Amino acid sequence: MIVEYLFYIFLVATAVQLLYHVLIFIRIWFFKESEHDNYKPVSVIVSSKNQLDDLRSNLIYFLDQEYPKFEVIVINDASSDGTDDYLEELQKKYDYLKVVTNTIQENDRFNKGKKFGITLAIKSATHDNLLFSDADSYPSSNQWIKKMQASFSSKKKIVLAYSRLEKRKGFLNRLLRYESLCEGLLSFSCTLCGFPLLAQRRNIAYNRGLFFSINGFFSHLNLSRGEAKLFVDEASNSRNTAVCLSAEAMTLSNKQKSYLEWFYHKRSYFHLVKRLRFSSLLILGMNFFSQLIFWMLIPILLIYQINTQWVLLAFSLRFCMQYIVYWKMCKYTNEYGLLWFLPLYEISLMLIHFMLSLSTFIKKVHDWD
CA dihedral over 42, 209, 201, 245, signed as positive or negative: negative
Domain boundaries, the chain: 2-28+279-359, 34-257
Which pLDDT belongs to residue 187? Answer: 96
Which pLDDT belongs to residue 369? Answer: 45
Q: The whole model's pTM is what?
A: 0.91
Give SS3 for 353: helix
How far is the CA of 105 from the CAs of 85, 96, 113, 216, in angstroms? Answer: 19, 27, 9, 20
The answer to whether residues 55 and 83 touch, using CB atoms and an 8 Å cutoff, is yes
Which pLDDT belongs to residue 185? Answer: 97
Which pLDDT belongs to residue 222? Answer: 80
Topology (CATH level 3) of domain 34-257: Spore Coat Polysaccharide Biosynthesis Protein SpsA; Chain A (3.90.550)
Which pLDDT belongs to residue 35? Answer: 73
Print pLDDT tens along the chain (369 aa).
Answer: 677 899 999 999 999 999 999 999 999 999 988 777 778 999 999 999 999 999 999 999 999 999 999 999 999 988 888 899 999 999 999 999 999 998 766 555 554 568 889 999 999 999 999 999 999 999 999 999 999 999 999 899 999 999 999 999 999 999 999 999 999 999 999 999 999 999 999 999 999 999 999 999 988 888 878 889 999 999 999 999 999 999 999 999 988 888 888 888 887 777 788 889 999 999 999 999 999 999 999 999 999 999 999 999 999 999 999 999 999 999 999 999 999 999 999 999 999 888 887 766 555 544 434
Which pLDDT belongs to residue 2? Answer: 79
